């Protein structure tokens, strides 16, 4: 008994010899004959090296396992002839453990869904009690639970785009890779473009009404891709060059889909004709890195590392407004759509802050196509701005900065994030504002409750283990009146943890 490898005593041998046949008999209700033979063979494979110094023990076990299977005495020859992979029993056991973990994860998700279902039922009950004639609609949907986590990228996620009517999303990362997914089947990508760009992809967006995807990168290129057959995409159909440093962001014109705007670390904004690939205009917009840009009709709004936000009439390149108030780099800025105006107008009316406009002012805001904007930055703040109206040149009628007051007014400052606020999206119903942050959260804010002294998010989503770099929300399939048949309820986020999360 001095040999540590010796695991059986003589008493064990006699016990094995005395085992009844029924102990190792076939359980027809558990295993098929073939499965039982494979099990017996894998057990012998596993024990053979262990019992190398105990040949008598191994011989007894072999005899028992090969003579008490589904075919009786014939099993010895059959069992020995079965070919099984190396370390078969260990691999099967590893699979069992993996399945157990998957079951535990599914049970946790199911518990979370049950909790969410209970919340929804209670909410609907309250809605019905308050308004017996109410109906449930996608228009007021708020993302509330994690539907899928896509772990395919090996680098931080930097950009996401959701097609407005096709079921495709595109995710991009810091290593220059783009991945195309089908929202109806997220089990694996439709396509992957490992070298879409040679450096970080900073933004992707779809051209309105088409299957063209536009990407911009730190490699100074803007590329156009045809995704009409997404699984066949290999190379871009067009590459735009002209920026002299990192291309930070792009925005496709809603007025003319063939017009594209871009901004860069070279401190400029460029206006592009997508049909020809030529830059129509270069605008010296800021004194430092231009971080983000958005468009509305003939106007652009941009933000910069110089902490300012600039309103520009892009056909002339004239600056018509300036918003000052952030203390650090401004990461993102967006025009607030017209369907949000009712909430912001009501807020201003409640606070007595110029909430009532003259008919002339209402007409002017309607003509320029903007009224409010929202920004976020490294000072952890979200700011809502009322933008200034331009003056007009008496000679040629072109817009110019208001000589009396060219500055935008910060009407509300929202605090709630614990770190840099990276990205903003406005819900398609105009009521909710969505923000993502380096504090690993996504927060949803109700614009109808801005009059509260301390604005709190109506929902805070946590699913990333690092900075949430970017978010995208699905848009209605067309610009007409909102209805359930035009809406898909998806919010997609990308983080520095290399994970893409799909929220529903």
Q: From edge to edge, which strands make up the β-sheet containing 212-217?
A: 201-206, 212-217, 222-226, 238-240
Same domain for 80 and 158, yes or no, is no
Query: In the prediction, which pLDDT does 38 show?
Result: 81
- φ, ψ at 320 (rounded to 5°): -115, -5
- With the C-alpha atoms ordered 222, 227, 231, 234, is the resulting torsion angle positive or negative? negative
**More confident position, 353 or 335:** 335
Q: Which helix (H) or strand (E) holds 179?
A: strand 178-182
Same domain for 62 and 181, yes or no, is no
Query: Taking 90 as the threshold, does the pLDDT of residue 337 lie above it?
Result: yes
Query: Taking 80 as the threshold, does the pLDDT of residue 280 lie above it?
Result: yes
Same domain for 63 and 181, yes or no, is no
Which of 44, 66, 84 is at the close of a domain?
84
Same domain for 290 and 424, yes or no, is yes
Lookup: tokens for 79: 């069992």
Q: What Å distances lie between residue 476 and 96, 444, 470, CA to CA?
A: 44, 19, 20
Model confidence over 384-441: pLDDT tens digits? 999 999 998 877 778 999 888 899 999 999 999 999 999 999 999 999 999 999 999 9
Which of 45, 62, 84 is at the close of a domain?
84
Residues above pLDDT 90, as percent of the chain: 62
Same domain for 154 and 288, yes or no, is yes
For residue 111, tell me if it sits in a domain.
no
Same domain for 78 and 167, yes or no, is no
Which of helix, strand or coil describes residue 141?
coil
Q: Cα(477)–Cα(479) distance, rounded to whole angstroms?
A: 7
Cβ proximity of 330 and 308 under 8 Å: yes
Cα separation of the two ends of the chain: 64
Mean pLDDT score, 89-118: 83
- With the C-alpha atoms ordered 341, 346, 352, 355, is the resulting torsion angle positive or negative? positive
Query: Taking 80 as the threshold, does the pLDDT of residue 78 lie above it?
Result: no
Model confidence over 109-126: pLDDT tens digits? 888 778 777 776 676 666
For residue 134, tell me if it sits in a domain.
no
Lookup: tokens for 195: 């070298």
Q: Cα(439)–Cα(365) distance, rounded to whole angstroms?
A: 36
Closest residue by Cα to residue 175 from 146, 189, 195, 150: 195
Angle at 415 between CA 414 and CA 419, to 5 degrees: 130
Angle at 501 between CA 499 and CA 504, to 5 degrees: 175
For residue 94, tell me if it sits in a domain.
no
For residue 395, tell me if it sits in a domain.
yes
Which of helix, strand or coil describes residue 259?
strand
Mean pLDDT score, 16-37: 60
Tally of helices (H runs) and strands (E runs) in the chain: 7, 30
Q: Identify any residues that bridge with 502 across adjacent strands, giving them in sequence order.
A: 148, 492
**More confident position, 82 or 490:** 490
pTM for the model stands at 0.74
Q: Cα(124)–Cα(135) distance, rounded to whole angstroms?
A: 9
For residue 449, tell me if it sits in a domain.
yes
Same domain for 263 and 186, yes or no, is yes
For residue 328, tell me if it sits in a domain.
yes
Which of 38, 69, 84 is at the close of a domain?
84
Query: In the prediction, which pLDDT does 334 show?
Result: 98
Same domain for 181 and 73, yes or no, is no
Model confidence over 123-170: pLDDT tens digits? 666 655 655 544 457 889 999 999 999 999 999 999 999 999 999 999
Query: In the prediction, which pLDDT does 90 show?
Result: 84
- φ, ψ at 214 (rounded to 5°): -120, 135
Same domain for 75 and 158, yes or no, is no
Angle at 299 between CA 297 and CA 300, to 5 degrees: 120
Domain count, the chain: 2
Give the residue numbers spanning the domain of 45: 11-84
Query: In the prediction, which pLDDT does 1 show?
Result: 44
Model confidence over 249-276: pLDDT tens digits? 999 998 899 999 999 999 999 999 999 9
For residue 122, tell me if it sits in a domain.
no
19-26: Cβ within 8 A, 24+ apart: 19/64, 21/68, 24/64, 24/65, 24/68, 25/68, 26/68, 26/69, 26/70
Those residues whose C-beta lies under 8 Å from the C-beta of residue 93, and which sit 6 or more positions away, are: none
Q: Cα(49)–Cα(57) distance, rounded to whole angstroms?
A: 12
For residue 97, tell me if it sits in a domain.
no
Which CATH number belongs to the domain containing residue 302 in this structure?
2.130.10.10
Same domain for 286 and 414, yes or no, is yes
Q: Which helix (H) or strand (E) holds 500?
A: strand 500-503
Same domain for 191 and 75, yes or no, is no
Model confidence over 53-69: pLDDT tens digits? 888 888 888 887 776 55
Same domain for 368 and 495, yes or no, is yes
Query: In the prediction, which pLDDT does 456 show?
Result: 96
């Amino acid at each position: 008994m001095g040999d540590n490898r010796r695991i059986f005593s003589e008493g064990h041998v006699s016990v094995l010899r005395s085992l009844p046949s029924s102990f190792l008999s076939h359980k027809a209700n558990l295993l098929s004959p073939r499965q039982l033979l494979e099990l017996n063979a894998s057990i012998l494979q596993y024990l053979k090296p262990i019992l190398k110094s105990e040949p008598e023990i191994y011989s007894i076990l072999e005899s028992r396992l090969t003579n008490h299977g589904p075919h009786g005495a014939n099993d010895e020859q059959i069992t020995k002839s079965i070919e099984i992979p190396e370390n078969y029993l260990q691999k099967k056991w590893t699979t069992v453990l993996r399945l157990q973990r998957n079951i535990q994860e599914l049970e946790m998700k199911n518990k979370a869904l049950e909790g969410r279902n209970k919340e929804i039922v209670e909410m609907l009950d309250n809605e019905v009690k308050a308004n017996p004639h109410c109906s449930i609609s996608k228009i007021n949907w708020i993302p509330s639970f994690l539907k899928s986590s896509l772990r395919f990228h090996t680098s931080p996620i930097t950009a996401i785009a959701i097609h407005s009517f096709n079921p495709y999303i595109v995710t991009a990362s810091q290593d220059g890779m783009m991945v195309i997914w089908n929202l109806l089947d997220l089990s694996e990508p439709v396509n992957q473009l490992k070298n879409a760009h040679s450096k970080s992809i900073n933004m992707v967006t779809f051209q309105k009404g088409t299957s063209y995807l536009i990407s911009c990168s730190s490699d100074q290129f803007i590329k156009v891709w045809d995704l009409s057959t997404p699984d066949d995409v290999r190379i871009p159909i067009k590459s735009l060059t002209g920026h002299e440093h990192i291309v930070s962001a792009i925005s496709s014109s809603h007025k003319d889909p063939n017009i594209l705007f871009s901004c860069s670390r070279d401190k400029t904004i460029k206006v592009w004709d997508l049909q020809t690939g030529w830059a129509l205009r270069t605008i010296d917009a800021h004194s430092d890195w231009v971080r983000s840009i958005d468009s509305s009709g003939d106007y652009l709004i941009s933000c910069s590392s110089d902490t300012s936000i600039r309103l520009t009439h892009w056909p002339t390149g004239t600056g018509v407004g300036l918003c000052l108030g952030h203390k650090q780099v401004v990461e993102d800025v967006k025009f607030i759509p017209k369907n949000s105006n009712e909430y912001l107008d009501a807020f201003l009316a409640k606070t007595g802050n110029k909430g009532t406009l003259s008919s002339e002012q209402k007409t002017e805001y309607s003509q320029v196509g903007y009224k409010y904007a929202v920004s976020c930055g490294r000072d952890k703040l979200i700011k809502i701005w009322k933008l200034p109206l331009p003056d007009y040149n008496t000679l040629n009628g072109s817009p110019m900065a208001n000589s009396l007051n060219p500055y935008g007014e910060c009407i509300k400052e929202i605090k709630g994030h614990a770190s840099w606020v990276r990205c903003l999206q406005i819900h398609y119903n105009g009521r909710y504002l969505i923000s993502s942050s380096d504090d690993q959260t996504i927060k949803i804010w109700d614009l109808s409750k801005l009059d509260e002294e301390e604005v709190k998010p109506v929902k805070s989503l946590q699913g990333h283990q690092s900075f949430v770099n970017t978010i995208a929300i699905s848009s209605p399939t067309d610009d007409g009146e909102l209805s359930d048949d035009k809406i898909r309820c998806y919010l997609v986020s990308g983080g520095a943890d290399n994970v893409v999360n799909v929220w529903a």
